[in-house]
Copies of this chain bind each other. A is one copy, B any other.
Amino acid sequence: MPNTISPSSSGSVVHEQVFERVREAIISGQFSPGSAISVRKLASEYGVSAMPAREAIRRLVAMGALEMTDTRRITLATMSQDKLAEIGIARLALEPVLAMKASEKVSGSHRAKKRLIDLLTHCDNELDVAIESGDATDYARHNSEFHFALYRASEANVMLSLVESLWMQFGPFMRVVIGRKGTSWFKDDKHKAAIEAIRADDSALLRQAIYEDISDGLKSISEVDFSSI
């Protein structure tokens, strides 16, 4: 039981720790779309009682990461053409703005800017390793880490929460697509361009880079056959 939650985990509230763990797992694609989740299974998996698992699940359902069937069964969110289109529109509308805000935030402080650039460079390097090795799970995790490291720097928590919700909804689906098409299909991201834009304090250019990064990614998966996922 390597997933057992230790008392030292961040946040002394158990249901919060469960939520964070599951969130991480969902975004990095460790669950399959439509797969079943249950209160007791989740509880025993993390070595907690039913209550924290219930609360974490309730929260994940509210964020759209989990769905409840008509018979009150809990599953991971599924994907459809329409839903993916919606998520694409929302991502393109929100994430470039977050990126721009992040750039503007750190442009005033050399220290903060360097810290962000270093962090993003680190994430991107790990991403390149994942692409090289073809590990879809690592790719999904490090790609999300790159984006959210950038977005978090904007300190725009309201919009950040919306974007998190979006990522949790397409994360499991994205993981399947990556595993099917191969990580190399997604190697031409705009991450290095984004880092350079931050370095140049060019928030408009960063906005453009993130927009294209998202747009390209969406294009890569638009011709996927949904019926088999």
Contact = CB atoms under 8 A, between A and B. Distances in A.
Interface in A49-74: 54-55, 58-59, 61-64, 72
Nearest to A77: B158
A162 B90 contact: yes
A87 interface: yes
A196 interface: no
Contacts of A64: 158, 161
Tell me the number of copies of this protein: 2
Nearest to A96: B93
Contacts of A55: 54-55, 58
A157 B89 CA distance: 13
A158 B62 contact: no
Could you say which of A55, A62, A166 has the most chain B C-beta atoms within 10 Å of its C-beta? A62
Contact of A86 (B13, B62, B63, B158): B158
A181 interface: no
B158 A169 contact: yes
Q: Which 6 A-B pairs have the closest CB atoms?
A: A62-B62, A93-B93, A86-B158, A59-B62, A58-B58, A162-B162
Interface of A: 13, 54-55, 58-59, 61-64, 72, 82-83, 86-87, 89-90, 93-94, 97, 156-159, 161-162, 165-166, 169
